[in-house]
Amino acid sequence: MEELLTIDELCARFKISRKWVYEHMQELPYTRLGPKGPYRFRESAIQDFIEEHSFFPDEPDAEPDEIDRFIEETLKRHPG
């Protein structure tokens, strides 16, 4: 069985801040230990999430509309 990561372990493993995690909780795959229990994350689920949500515009097969869509989505998530 895969080990569940705490928020601090998640931050250390993926080099992200606690603030970023809490700002993106609605997007991240997680579980809670009880109705109001602590959040836990499976490393493989987070890696899958990153792969699904990553886009590298400099890849040779990147289409212009994909790049535009990526920029739009990024700006919606991080306005200003």
HEC letters along 48-79: HHHHHHCCCCCCCCCCHHHHHHHHHHHHHHCC
Q: Work out the pLDDT band at 8, boundaries 50, 70, 90.
A: very high
Helix axis angle, 43-53 relative to 7-14, nearest 10°? 50
Lowest mean pLDDT: which of 35-39, 48-52, 74-78?
Answer: 74-78
Q: How far apart are the first and last CA of the chain?
A: 42
pTM: 0.63
